[in-house]
């Protein structure tokens, strides 16, 4: 067998493995009631001065964490997306990927796809490797009929966390559904 034939067979096998349906994984939006730490800043930290006060990172701030958990519960248990948007914005950290992503998700659930897109892009600007945003934005793409873009998001998720992570499985399962099935993600 020639080397090019072996390479072709290997590529075909990989394509088939990636295209094989996952074992009945439902396409639910996944998230966490714990925000991930913000990505490391590329900006240098400001020098301490006598006037500056030490601030806790929002990841360590109990008030932020409790507010985030409350908003998460409002979204996933209460399905009150408008109230959750207000709660998340009130945290004062809507430049954090987790917060911006949940705001985008809430707007999507309210049917405001334009604002949802703005917030998903804001989350990815804050953290280009935020896997849940790639997942949620991929589901947004499916709802908009942009299956090719959703596939790109799936590939991005695969590169970030592999094909066994929940976010990959969720978006892959959603892509397996026939277009226009009316499924809500």
- The rounded distance, in Å, linking the Cα atoms of 48 and 28 is 45
Cα four-point dihedral sign 37, 82, 109, 115:
negative
Q: What is the pTM of this model?
A: 0.71
- Output phi, psi for 22, to 5 deg: -75, 160
Reduced to 3 states (helix: H, G, I; strand: E, B; else coil), residue 98 is: helix
Tens digit of each residue's pLDDT (9 = 90 or more) over 36-60? 654 544 443 333 433 333 344 566 7
Tens digit of each residue's pLDDT (9 = 90 or more) over 125-164? 999 999 999 999 999 999 999 999 999 999 999 999 999 9
Could you state, in order of their start, the residue ranges of all structural domains in the chain? 85-178
- The rounded distance, in Å, linking the Cα atoms of 88 and 85 is 5
- What CATH number does domain 85-178 carry, 1.25.40.10, 2.130.10.10, 1.10.1670.10, 1.10.10.10? 1.25.40.10
């Amino acid at each position: 067998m020639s080397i090019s034939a072996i390479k072709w067979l290997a590529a075909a096998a990989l394509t088939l493995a990636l295209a094989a349906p996952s074992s009945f994984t439902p396409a639910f939006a996944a998230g966490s009631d714990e925000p991930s730490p913000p990505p490391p800043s590329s900006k240098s930290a400001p020098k301490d001065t006598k006037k500056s006060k030490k601030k806790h990172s929002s990841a360590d701030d109990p008030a932020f964490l409790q507010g985030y958990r409350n908003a998460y519960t409002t979204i996933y248990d209460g399905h009150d997306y408008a109230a959750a948007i207000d709660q998340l914005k009130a945290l004062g950290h809507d430049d954090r990927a987790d917060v911006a992503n949940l705001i985008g998700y809430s707007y999507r659930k309210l049917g405001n796809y334009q604002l949802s897109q703005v917030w998903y892009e804001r989350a990815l600007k804050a953290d280009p490797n935020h896997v849940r945003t790639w997942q949620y934005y991929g589901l947004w793409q499916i709802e908009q009929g942009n299956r090719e873009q959703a596939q790109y998001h799936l590939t991005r998720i695969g590169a970030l966390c592999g094909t066994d992570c929940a976010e990959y499985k969720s978006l892959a399962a959603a892509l397996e559904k026939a277009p226009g099935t009316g499924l809500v993600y």
